[in-house]
Structure 1
Amino acid sequence: MNLKKIKMAIYAMYLTNKYGIKLKKTKTSKEKMDLRLNYSEELLSKLNIKVQIENKDKIPTQGQYLLISNHRSIIDPLIIEQTLKDSDIKGYWVAKKELYNSSFFGTFTRNAGTILLDRESNNMSSFFKKTKEVVKNNQSIFIFPEGTRNKENTPISSFKEGSRIIALKNRLDILPVFIKSNANDILKEAIEKRTENLIIEIKIGNIISYKDKTSLEENYKKQFNLD
């Protein structure tokens, strides 16, 4: 690891834990959402990364949705936060157990407005109970349907069935978002070369009804011409 990487890693850990502590002290969902947005703006600014949105007019100004996105980098949640900053669409992220226990992300993740997903659990009732609580409190739910970061040289990997079940159980229409740029490659360039004015391109799709019986992966691919 070179000096630039070390400096950025130290800064990112400092900023993440700083906001994690701030989030722990919040009392309302709005405070959490505002802090998440501030965090994403501050870290992406440090990385010299800006988000450019195609079909921005397709982002609903209000309402509740299951937002789905492809997942190729650790900064994808920050990219989504920036994508929605001019909208009233705010939500809880579905976060895996590993993030809750992480020394780097743990404090932030546990307090940032998330729904714990424990894939090792034999009983998912507590997870679905939490999704209902979130929706009842007028929040959306954000999820990466691939389940983990896609490290292959493909735009997306296979979707898990859980996303569609969340939409059905909570009667949430689906807002598809596609991160067109390889955000992981751009992140590496930002850290290793400190390149100025890096752009990550986002494309917004059409709302998908939770009643739509088409495979969610098939629907997503069709919307973004990924076949």
Structure 2
Amino acid sequence: MNLKLISMAFYATYLTNKFGFLLKNEKNKNKKMLLREEYAKTLLKKLKLNVNVINKEKLPIDGKYLLISNHRSIIDPLIIETALKDTKIRGFWIAKKELYNSFFFGMFTRNAGSILLDREAKNMAPFFKDIKEVVKDENSIYIFPEGTRNKQNTPLSSFKEGARIIALKNRLPILPVYIKTNANEVLKEAINSRTKELTIDIEIGELIDYKDKTSLEENYRKIFDL
């Protein structure tokens, strides 16, 4: 691990926990969402990373959706938050238990607006109940259908079935977004080339009806020509 990487890791940990503390003490939902946006903006600016939204005209201004995205980098949520910043769409992330318990991300994840997914739980009813309450309160749901980061040299790995079930149970139109740039590779370059500004492209796809019986992965691949 080189000095630049160590320095950025310390800064990211400090910033994440700083905003985690601010979020913990903020009770207003709208202000929480603004803090999330500010966190994404601050960290991406430090990394000199710009987000370019392709097909921005396809992005709804408001409403409730199940947002789905591919996932190759730890900064993917920040990229998506930035892409949505000019809309009124606000959502809760589906977060794995490992993130809730993480030293680096735990405080932020628990307080930023997320729903715990415990894959080892025998009863998933509380998970779906939490989602229903969040949607009832006029929020969207954000999820990575691959279930975990794709670390292979492929644009997409297989989708889990849970995302489609969430859309059906809550009658949520599905908003597909695709991070075209390999953000993980760009993140490495950003850390090692602090003076150079880099751009990450994210593409907005056509909405998918929650009643569409085609597999979610098949629809996603077709929309983004994968």
Match of 1:27 in 2: 27
SS of 2:142's partner is: strand
SS of 1:153's partner is: coil
Could you tell me the TM-score, scaled by structure 1's length? 0.99
Match of 2:104 in 1: 104
Match of 1:85 in 2: 85
State percent identity of aligned pairs: 68
Match of 1:59 in 2: 59
The residue type equivalent to 1:181 in the other structure is: T
Would you identify which runs of 4 or more consecutive aligned residues in structure 1 move more than 3 Å?
none
SS of 1:16's partner is: helix
Separation in 2, partners of 1:168, 1:45: 37
Match of 1:10 in 2: 10
**C-alpha offsets along residues 96-120 of structure 1, whole Å, 9 cap, x if unaligned?**
0000000000000000000000000
SS of 1:95's partner is: strand
Shift of 1:195: 4.6
Question: Where in structure 2 are the equivalents of 1:1-227 lying within 5 Å?
Answer: 1-226=1-226
The residue type equivalent to 1:176 in the other structure is: P
Separation in 2, partners of 1:186, 1:197: 10
SS of 2:220's partner is: helix
**C-alpha offsets along residues 172-205 of structure 1, whole Å, 9 cap, x if unaligned?**
0000000000000000001122252200001000
Separation in 1, partners of 2:64, 2:29: 14
Cα contact 1:189–1:195 (8 A) shared by 2: no
Separation in 2, partners of 1:192, 1:105: 23
Separation in 2, partners of 1:32, 1:142: 16
Separation in 2, partners of 1:14, 1:138: 32
Separation in 2, partners of 1:15, 1:81: 16
Shift of 1:29: 1.6
**C-alpha offsets along residues 106-145 of structure 1, whole Å, 9 cap, x if unaligned?**
0000000000000000100010000000000000000000
Cα contact 1:206–1:223 (8 A) shared by 2: yes
SS of 1:109's partner is: helix
**CA RMSD in angstroms, aligned pairs only:** 0.6
Identify unmatched segments of 5+ residues in structure 1: none
Could you tell me the TM-score, scaled by structure 2's length? 0.99
Cα contact 1:145–1:162 (8 A) shared by 2: yes
Identify unmatched segments of 5+ residues in structure 2: none
Cα 1:159–1:195 shift into 2, 3 Å: farther
Separation in 1, partners of 2:109, 2:4: 26
Separation in 1, partners of 2:146, 2:112: 21
**C-alpha offsets along residues 63-102 of structure 1, whole Å, 9 cap, x if unaligned?**
1000000000000000000000000011000000000000
Aligned pairs, number: 226
Separation in 2, partners of 1:44, 1:197: 10
Cα contact 1:178–1:202 (8 A) shared by 2: yes
